[in-house]
Amino acid sequence: MTLETQSLTCLRKLAAVLALTALTIVAARPSVAQTFTVLHTFTGPDGATPESGLTMDRAGNLYGTALTGGQGFQYCNLGCGTIFKLTHGGSGWVFTPIYKFTGPDGANPRARVVFGPDGALYGTAVQGGAHGRGVVFKLQPPATFCHAVQCLWTETVLYSFQQINDASYPAGGDLVFDNAGNIYGTTDDGGNFGGGTVYQLVRSSGSWTESVLHSFGASGDGWRPESGLTFDGQGNLYGTTSGGGSSQGGTVYQLTHSGSGWTESVIHSFDGNNEGSIPYGGLIPDGAGNFYGTTNTGGPGFGGTVYELTPSSGGWTLNVLYSFSNIYVGSSASVTLGPNGALYGTLESADVDVFQLTQSGGQWTQTGEFGRTNDGPDGNVILDAQGNLYTTGSAGGPNQDGVVLEITP
């Protein structure tokens, strides 16, 4: 599993390329003026391979994770990964590593860090911990004033994943919280069938208790959820699995809570053809009960799709909003819904990194392409109040250790 984790980005891109066909019609591409600014270039000791995207606080500061780099420990021959912060400083940005993993405290964070109800940062690491199967952690600034030039934050391991029948190896999905402060997440391994899990962490008497809410991998079910979870207004959980379902193209699932626990239902199985397949990215709600997502391959253009899932007559209807042509390698990240109703996302592409889709007359059109060669974006896009876009490139920079990018349309 260690080797699989360290090479996961390569395997995902290879799987996408193998799924593409050589023949397709390439649509004319829009030309959009934009300015790219590299806010930080990773060097290795400060982190490397930042593939999960960024999180922004209310002051406009950026937080992110680097899968490798930092310090090494045992199996972390490329470094166990870091967490970093970018702060506005004068006319530029100041980069600060705020935590470096060593292994027992977790290793190789693939997901973003997110803010919890208490204002602390929470996240997961795919490996390390007490059993080597990953951790859920909490990160806080130092309790007392630090006089050093570089002050690392304080990490607390909330839970170390255990054996194969437990949740194991949390992947790239964000953690989410309910109104009581309980934590929910996914793993792409472990569970009763080895196909991954949805788990819950409940705080009690100063510690956290983990429960597996659903094990993926049974016949007809999805398997290997790479993305996180989304709540609806009724407290139901929704997510995607990268494989499984009736056509083995991946699924969208729902978890409904009742007095006896949680019940999982597959609400859509991707056909692996026109709808696309391998939905690595999660679901984004629009406030009207609809969800938006991406697939990594397939679709009419063979380069993955952007889709909408709408409630209909007690069920759900999937509509493909846009299909990328085979000059692209599809998206592995969730889309972002902008304040103007546009959708933004990233592509694993040699010539286009970030896309923008807008709707007019019921039709969605790619109205923005923000291209930058060899930066390799894998994560989400976030927007600030001025409409600037921020993301990470896992393979950018002179040594291909990755970059943090600002895009000004």
Rounded CA gap, 307 and 323, in Å?
Answer: 9
Other beta carbons within 10 angstroms of residue 123's beta carbon come to 28
Supply the CATH number for residue 70's domain. Answer: 2.120.10.30
What is the structure's pLDDT at 165? 82
pLDDT of amino acid 8: 40
- By the 8 A CB rule, do 85 and 66 touch? no
Integer Rg of the chain from CA: 20
Q: CA 114, CA 104: separation in Å to the nearest integer?
A: 21
pLDDT for residue 96: 94
**Total structural domains in the chain?**
1
Q: What's the Cα-to-Cα distance from 128 to each of 1, 132, 165, rounded to whole Å? A: 12, 4, 17
Give yes or no for a contact between 194 and 217, defined as CB atoms under 8 angstroms apart.
yes
Q: What distance in Å separates the CA atoms of residue 30 and residue 278, rounded to the nearest whole number? A: 27
Instruction: Please state the φ and ψ torsions of residue 9, each to the nearest 5 degrees.
Output: -60, -40
Give dist(CA 93, CA 251) in Å, integer: 40
Please give the Cα distance from 224 to 173 (Å, whole number).
11
- What is the C-alpha separation between 252 and 235, in angstroms, rounded? 17
Q: In what order do the strands lie in the sheet with 92-100?
A: 54-56, 62-66, 82-89, 92-100
Report the pLDDT value the prediction gives residue 389, as an integer from 0 to 100.
93
Q: What CA–CA distance (Å, rounded) separates 96 from 172? A: 23
> Which pLDDT score is estimated for 31?
45
**For each of the chain's 409 residues, which pLDDT tens digit applies?**
443 444 444 434 333 333 333 223 233 344 455 688 899 999 999 999 999 999 999 999 999 999 999 987 777 888 999 999 999 877 889 999 999 999 999 999 999 999 999 999 999 999 999 999 999 999 999 877 776 667 899 999 999 999 778 999 999 999 999 999 999 999 999 999 999 999 999 998 889 999 999 999 999 999 999 999 999 999 999 999 999 999 999 999 999 998 889 999 999 999 999 999 999 999 999 989 999 999 999 999 999 999 999 999 889 999 999 999 865 578 999 999 998 899 999 988 655 578 899 999 889 998 876 766 556 677 899 999 999 999 998 888 888 899 999 988 7
| Separation between Cα atoms, residue 321 and residue 332, nearest integer Å | 17
Cα angle value 155/157/162 (rounded, 5°):
155
Domain holding 279, by residue range, is: 2-408
DSSP state of 5: H
Sign of torsion over alpha carbons 301, 303, 304, 308: negative
CA dihedral (98, 101, 106, 109) in degrees, to 10, reads 70
Output phi, psi for 5, to 5 deg: -70, -40
